[in-house]
């Protein structure tokens, strides 16, 4: 041991000297490491403290950064070249933990939630704050926001677009199509539960954590020799928040509890001597009267100590331990009905939970949570770096090897989905279910030109299918409200939604033409209805959602119009979300953007497949097949890029955060290296031209795209960029101390997008086969994952890889059917049976990939297919309920 320590010290010194003198001397460092013959783990140990050398030692921060980068590269070099990488298996519990309270910073606080009720827990010593949310507490009340003038203006707007008068078309759309009513309502906070502890100014041994294996927050500290412990969770089965406060010496617990709120219309009460009540009405917003009424109750339970109350607070004196139950409910029944009784509901939840004891409540909560959470396990190994507090790991991540930090972030995404999206509740909004602002950014509503869809990318494949339900229900509701919008605004059948919606399921166009004249929200969301079927194979479910899937197609069938120049059927007006080429006079309004074409293609293809699966609507199938033939194919432009618009006007210097035309690469499957390699190569050029650094969600999407590119190292680079403390990279997003993603500000889509992307690095099932470890970065050369789901209802019970090769995989077939595997190395069955290589179409209907038309390639393009690593393709017929084990050949 001493020998290693001495070597490590020498090592640091060498590192320091070498780096300061010559920051790029990678070879020298590699030589040094080789001579010292240290194991990878010891090397990790060596780099970790070294990464914390203060800036003052270096000439400037740039120097330090460069030196750290060099050290990191040498670590990666060793990992790449060391076949027996001895990274330790992760044994530590998955926790976010800190040595300091949150203070005033909301993004330091820790999120808990059960899909209905949620809290941000600050862990402050003297004044503890539980910032409270409830899923239906939104501004406004039932309303619609269609603009009926649109119908009359439509022909003229189209004419202007086709004549290239984009600015004039945009002006007209602003005047005649954009809503003159609500631009969407706000998801609002309830208020705070505040606990004030007199005399707790000076404390020691502070610690707080969020254990994402149990979904429980804990805070401990010591004052005057007494150790205090606070635990809190939002119970899944009991639908209330439970807080336990205790001290390790008798009669030491004294505090004052109160509820606070920022609403104009509110009322505080103390019921009896142990229950705080806050009643309120949400805000008016954009001409819509706030009519959601809510009631928050906090009831105290203690066997000892004194309880003293005033008119709006309760003081506890000299207790041993105290339980606080918090229940919140509103009058919201559905988007069209707010006649519920918030007071009765809040009381009912509370009464039911109140008589249960803490241990029973906690055990039931953990069991209900783990039913979902434990389905997926990921192990990418672990190093010493994982022993530090979460905020320090975040700070160090780029400069050290900390693979279990990726695991933590991955599982945190799953934790957030379980906590913010439960069957029967509202879908996760821009901030999930956590918002402390009365007027949050973008109203914390649903932006459906990417953000809401991204929230649900991890749902099916990370085995959280039930968590998809709130979104699927919202889509069904939008298919009702969006019907009137289709009729009134565009004279079309079916339904649509524009680029935003809210709890009232508005479907009219908002914000301004630049953003709002996009009618793909319904079409994109309808793909989620189909995706749920692809993973579950549930025909009854498919039957129940089919009208909405078909309705999305009906809308486009009516709305499409022939482009006078190209003769294709196009969406007009539409846009390529939130981007505009210079050549279009800076206006985004357009006809036939690539993303719109791809969306219509998917909506038609999925409707055809759904109708076939249900054995109905032959005429519709024929009609949609015919319409599909008339859609524009994709274009490869003069910069060898995938064109964003029908005309070749993309700028290779454009680094806009939306790369909407890559919808075709992910989440759709229209761009495949196997069936259209040139398009695939063009998509890569587009990705390279747009660059890496961007807003949080954009980087999250890029992880998925690079995974689809089968480039694990580039995907990892994006994870690194996302997992940087906010502010590290100018113009980019990042991550807050509580691991919330930063757009900035906080948006939860980036968390979910990255969890999805990490899954896509390890398994993909959208391109005709179950592709195992398609995009492993050098940092994840060894690992294990269990519990992922694929299309066609297969479960990856356990997959192990070593040195980048698939060692073994166990797969259970829940629906039967052909299992087509694509692997990086040859495999055989565990019993030694040879598998035959296969090709052609996968006979399993859940893996059908709709054929796209050949792309049109610019005469000045010299696009060439990419050289991908070879893979092996096998078919295994499976039986429902049976498991299959494959091992390396």
Told to check if 452 binds ligand FUC by CB under 6 A, we report: no
Residue (of 669, 672, 523) closest to 607 by Cα position: 523
> What is the smallest separation between the CB atom of 451 and ligand FUC, expressed in angstroms?
5
872 vs 444: CA distance, rounded Å? 45
Q: Considering the complex, state which of residue 427 and residue 537 has its C-beta at the smaller distance from ligand FUC.
A: 427
Site for ligand FUC in 512-551 (CB under 6 A): none
Told to check if 430 binds ligand FUC by CB under 6 A, we report: yes
Q: Considering the complex, state which of residue 108 and residue 695 has its C-beta at the smaller distance from ligand FUC.
A: 695
Q: What b/e string do you get for 116-144 counting C-beta neighbours within 10 Å, with b at 16 or more?
A: bbbbbbbbbbbebbbbbbbbbbbbbbebb
> What is the smallest separation between the CB atom of 828 and ligand FUC, expressed in angstroms?
47
Q: Considering the complex, state which of residue 239 and residue 658 has its C-beta at the smaller distance from ligand FUC.
A: 658
Residue (of 105, 186, 118) closest to 439 by Cα position: 186
3-state SS string over 738-789?
Answer: CCCEECCCECCHHHHHHHHHHHHHHEECCCCCEEECCCCCHHHCCEEEECEE
Q: What is the DSSP letter of 280?
A: E
> What is the smallest separation between the CB atom of 757 and ligand FUC, expressed in angstroms?
17
Q: Considering the complex, state which of residue 563 and residue 658 has its C-beta at the smaller distance from ligand FUC.
A: 658
Q: Considering the complex, state which of residue 502 and residue 578 has its C-beta at the smaller distance from ligand FUC.
A: 578
Tokens encoding 117: 């009720």
Q: Considering the complex, state which of residue 116 and residue 442 has its C-beta at the smaller distance from ligand FUC.
A: 442
> What is the smallest separation between the CB atom of 453 and ligand FUC, expressed in angstroms?
12
> What is the smallest separation between the CB atom of 626 and ligand FUC, expressed in angstroms?
35
Check the CA dihedral 486-662-433-102 and report its sign. Answer: negative
Q: Considering the complex, state which of residue 330 and residue 451 has its C-beta at the smaller distance from ligand FUC.
A: 451
Residue (of 78, 18, 92, 67) closest to 43 by Cα position: 78
Distances (CA, A) of 515 to 143, 520, 590: 21, 12, 12
Q: Considering the complex, state which of residue 499 and residue 708 has its C-beta at the smaller distance from ligand FUC.
A: 499
Check the CA dihedral 400-402-405-407 and report its sign. Answer: positive
According to CB under 6 A, which one of 434, 442, 535, 705 is a site residue for ligand FUC? 442
According to CB under 6 A, which one of 451, 452, 782, 795 is a site residue for ligand FUC? 451
Site for ligand FUC in 637-696 (CB under 6 A): 657-658, 695
Q: Considering the complex, state which of residue 220 and residue 513 has its C-beta at the smaller distance from ligand FUC.
A: 513
CA atoms lying within 13 Å on the CB side of residue 604: 25
> What is the smallest separation between the CB atom of 294 and ligand FUC, expressed in angstroms?
25
Q: Considering the complex, state which of residue 519 and residue 747 has its C-beta at the smaller distance from ligand FUC.
A: 747
739: left (phi over 0), alpha (psi -120 to 50) or beta: left
Site for ligand FUC in 551-580 (CB under 6 A): 578
Site for ligand FUC in 715-744 (CB under 6 A): 743
> What is the smallest separation between the CB atom of 96 and ligand FUC, expressed in angstroms?
24
> What is the smallest separation between the CB atom of 678 and ligand FUC, expressed in angstroms?
29
> What is the smallest separation between the CB atom of 151 and ligand FUC, expressed in angstroms?
26
> What is the smallest separation between the CB atom of 796 and ligand FUC, expressed in angstroms?
32
> What is the smallest separation between the CB atom of 178 and ligand FUC, expressed in angstroms?
15
- Give me the long-range contacts of 436-439 (CB less than 8 A, separation at least 24): 436/106, 436/120, 436/131, 436/189, 437/189, 438/186, 438/188, 438/189, 438/262, 438/263, 438/283, 439/186
Told to check if 875 binds ligand FUC by CB under 6 A, we report: no
Tokens encoding 582: 């210079």
Q: Considering the complex, state which of residue 750 and residue 817 has its C-beta at the smaller distance from ligand FUC.
A: 750
Tokens encoding 380: 């990418």
- Count residues contacting ligand FUC (CB under 6 A)? 11
Told to check if 702 binds ligand FUC by CB under 6 A, we report: no
Contact (CB, 8 A) for 625 and 609: no
> What is the smallest separation between the CB atom of 599 and ligand FUC, expressed in angstroms?
17
Q: Considering the complex, state which of residue 698 and residue 710 has its C-beta at the smaller distance from ligand FUC.
A: 698
450 vs 460: CA distance, rounded Å? 17
Tokens encoding 283: 């805000």
CA 242 to centroid of chain Cα atoms = 27
According to CB under 6 A, which one of 64, 382, 447, 710 is a site residue for ligand FUC? 447
Strand partners, 223: 226
Residue (of 640, 628, 491, 634) closest to 576 by Cα position: 634
Residue (of 790, 810, 792) closest to 800 by Cα position: 810
Question: In the complex, which residues of this chain contact ligand FUC (CB under 6 A)?
Answer: 430, 442, 447, 451, 578, 657-658, 695, 697, 743, 747
């Amino acid at each position: 041991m001493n020998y290693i320590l001495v070597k490590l010290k020498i090592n640091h010194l060498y590192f320091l000297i070498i780096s300061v003198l010559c920051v790029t001397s990678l070879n020298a460092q590699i030589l040094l490491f080789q001579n010292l013959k240290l194991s990878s783990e010891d090397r990790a140990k060596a780099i970790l403290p070294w990464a914390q050398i203060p800036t003052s030692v270096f000439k400037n921060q740039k120097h330090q950064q460069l030196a750290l980068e060099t050290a990191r590269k040498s670590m990666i070099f060793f990992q790449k070249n060391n076949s027996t990488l001895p990274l330790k298996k992760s044994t530590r519990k998955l926790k976010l933990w800190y040595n300091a309270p949150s203070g005033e910073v909301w993004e330091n606080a820790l999120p808990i939630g059960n899909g209905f009720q949620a809290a941000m827990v600050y862990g402050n010593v003297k004044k503890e704050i539980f910032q409270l949310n409830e899923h239906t507490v939104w501004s406004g009340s039932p309303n619609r926001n269609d603009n009926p003038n649109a119908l009359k203006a439509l022909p003229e707007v189209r004419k202007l677009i086709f004549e290239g008068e984009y600015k004039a078309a945009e002006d007209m759309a602003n005047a005649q199509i954009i809503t003159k009513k609500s631009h969407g309502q706000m998801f609002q906070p309830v208020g705070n539960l505040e606990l004030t502890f007199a005399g707790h100014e000076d404390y020691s041994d502070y610690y707080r954590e969020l254990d994402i294996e149990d979904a429980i927050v804990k805070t401990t500290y010591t004052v005057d020799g007494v150790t205090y412990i606070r635990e809190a969770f939002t119970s899944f089965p009991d639908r209330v928040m439970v807080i336990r406060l205790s001290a390790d010496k008798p009669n030491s617990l004294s505090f004052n509890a109160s509820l606070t709120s920022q609403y104009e219309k509110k009322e505080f009460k103390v019921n009896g001597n142990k229950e705080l009540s806050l009643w309120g009405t949400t805000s008016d917003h954009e001409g819509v009267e706030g009519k959601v009424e809510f009631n928050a109750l906090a009831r105290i339970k203690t066997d000892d100590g004194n309880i003293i109350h005033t008119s709006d607070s309760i003081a506890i004196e000299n207790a041993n331990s105290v339980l606080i139950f918090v229940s919140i409910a509103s009058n919201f029944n559905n988007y069209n009905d707010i006649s519920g009784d918030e007071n009765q509901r809040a009381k009912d939840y509370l009464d039911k939970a109140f008589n249960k004891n803490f241990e029973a409540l906690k055990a039931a909560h953990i069991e209900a949570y783990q039913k979902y959470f434990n389905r997926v396990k990921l192990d990418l190994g672990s190093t010493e770096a994982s022993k530090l507090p979460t905020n320090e790991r975040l700070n160090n991540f780029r400069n050290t090897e900390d693979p279990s930090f990726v695991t933590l972030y991955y599982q945190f995404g799953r934790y957030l989905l379980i906590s913010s999206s439960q069957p029967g509740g509202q879908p996760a909004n821009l901030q999930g279910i956590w918002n402390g602002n009365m007027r949050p950014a973008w109203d914390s509503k649903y932006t459906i030109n990417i953000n809401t869809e991204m929230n649900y990318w991890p749902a099916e494949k990370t085995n959280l299918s039930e968590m998809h339900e709130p979104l699927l229900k919202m889509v069904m509701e939008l298919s009702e409200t969006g019907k009137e919008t289709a009729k009134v605004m565009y004279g079309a059948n079916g339904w649509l939604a524009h680029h935003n919606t809210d709890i009232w399921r508005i479907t009219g166009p908002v914000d301004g033409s630049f953003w709002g004249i996009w009618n793909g929200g319904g079409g994109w969301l309808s793909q989620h209805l189909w995706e749920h079927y692809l993973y579950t194979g549930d025909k009854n479910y498919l039957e129940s959602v089919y009208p909405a899937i078909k309705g999305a197609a009906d809308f486009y069938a009516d709305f499409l119009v022939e482009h006078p120049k190209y003769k294709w059927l196009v969406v007009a007006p539409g846009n390529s979300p939130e981007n505009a080429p210079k050549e279009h006079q800076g206006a985004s309004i357009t006809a036939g953007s690539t993303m719109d074409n791809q969306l219509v293609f998917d909506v038609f293809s999925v409707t055809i497949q759904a109708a076939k699966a249900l054995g109905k609507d032959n005429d519709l199938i024929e009609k949609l097949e015919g319409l599909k033939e008339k859609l524009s194919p994709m274009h490869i432009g003069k910069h060898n890029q995938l064109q964003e618009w029908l005309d070749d006007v993309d700028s290779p210097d454009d680094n806009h955060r939306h790369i909407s035309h890559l919808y075709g690469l992910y989440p759709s499957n229209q761009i495949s290296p196997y069936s259209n390699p040139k398009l695939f190569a063009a998509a890569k050029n587009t990705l390279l031209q747009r660059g890496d650094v961007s807003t949080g969600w954009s980087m999250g999407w890029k992880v998925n795209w690079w995974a689809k590119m089968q480039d694990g190292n580039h995907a990892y680079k994006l994870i690194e960029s996302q997992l940087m403390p906010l502010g590290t990279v100018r113009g980019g997003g990042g991550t807050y101390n509580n691991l919330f993603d930063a757009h900035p500000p906080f948006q939860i889509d980036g968390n979910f997008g990255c969890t999805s992307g990490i899954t896509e690095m390890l398994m993909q099932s959208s391109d005709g086969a179950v592709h195992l470890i398609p995009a492993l970065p050098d940092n994840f050369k060894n690992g294990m994952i269990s519990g992922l789901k694929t299309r066609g209802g297969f479960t990856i019970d356990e997959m192990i890889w070593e040195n980048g090769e698939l060692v073994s995989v166990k797969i259970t077939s829940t629906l039967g059917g052909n299992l087509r595997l694509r692997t990086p190395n040859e495999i055989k069955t565990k019993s030694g049976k040879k598998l035959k290589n296969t090709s052609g179409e996968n006979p399993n209907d859940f893996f059908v990939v709709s054929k796209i038309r050949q792309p049109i390639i610019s005469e000045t393009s010299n696009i060439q297919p990419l050289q991908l690593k070879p893979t092996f393709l096998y078919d295994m017929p499976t039986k429902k309920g049976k498991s299959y084990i494959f091992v390396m050949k």
